[in-house]
Each structure stands twice: as C-alpha cells, then as structure tokens.
Amino acid sequence: MFVIVSYDIPDDRRRLRIAKALKAFGDRVQYSVFECNLGKNELELMTKRLLRMINEAEDSIRIYRACAKCKSEIKILGLGTVSEDPDLIIV
C-alpha cells in the first residue's frame, strides 16, 4: 500500500532519529514528508518503531494511506516524482 508520512517534531535529536528510521521504509519527498510503498507487516513495524521514538506530548506523526486511484492523481507542482515500487527481479 502507498502511504504518506508527515511529521512535526520540535526536538532536533528526536527529529533526526525519526527521519533516519523513515528512510528505511520510503523516500523523503520533502523535509518532513516521506512516501512509502509498504506491505501490511511493514506498516505495522514502521508504526511500532515510530511510537517507541516519539514524545506523545510534543510530537506529531501522520500516516495517510492513499488508494491506487488517489496515488495516480497526485499532482506535483515544481520538482519531484511520486515514489514507485522498485523493480524486483528474482533469479
């Protein structure tokens, strides 16, 4: 599934840790926004990992699921492309 993750983390150190964790799951498309193509288990793993890192009283992370039709209708103004699943070849 295609998900968009955005965050607002006031603490520099925690923000860097969260950005590093998100890089393992998707592509950074803006400073605090990632696009991720994830399976159900990967989404659960990412969510659990992020929950362990945040301060729930200060931080905000939003995870938006986008259907295939919605993803195909994303409009980008200026630079950028929508993240795609990498081609996978099994030999």
* 27-30 and 60-66 strand pairing: unpaired
pLDDT at 91 over 70: no
pLDDT at 87: 54
Q: Is residue 76 part of a domain?
A: no
Q: Is residue 78 part of a domain?
A: no
Q: Where do the DSSP E strands lie in the chain?
A: 2-8, 27-30, 33-37, 60-66
Q: Is residue 79 part of a domain?
A: no
Q: Is residue 14 part of a domain?
A: yes
Q: Is residue 39 part of a domain?
A: yes
Q: Is residue 87 part of a domain?
A: no
Tell me: the pLDDT tens digits for 23-81?
Answer: 999 999 999 999 999 999 999 999 999 999 999 999 999 999 988 777 777 777 777 77
Has this prediction a pTM greater than 0.85?
no
pLDDT at 85: 65
User: Total structural domains in the chain?
Assistant: 1
Find the CATH number of the domain harbouring 23: 3.30.70.240
Q: Which domain holds residue 52?
A: 2-70
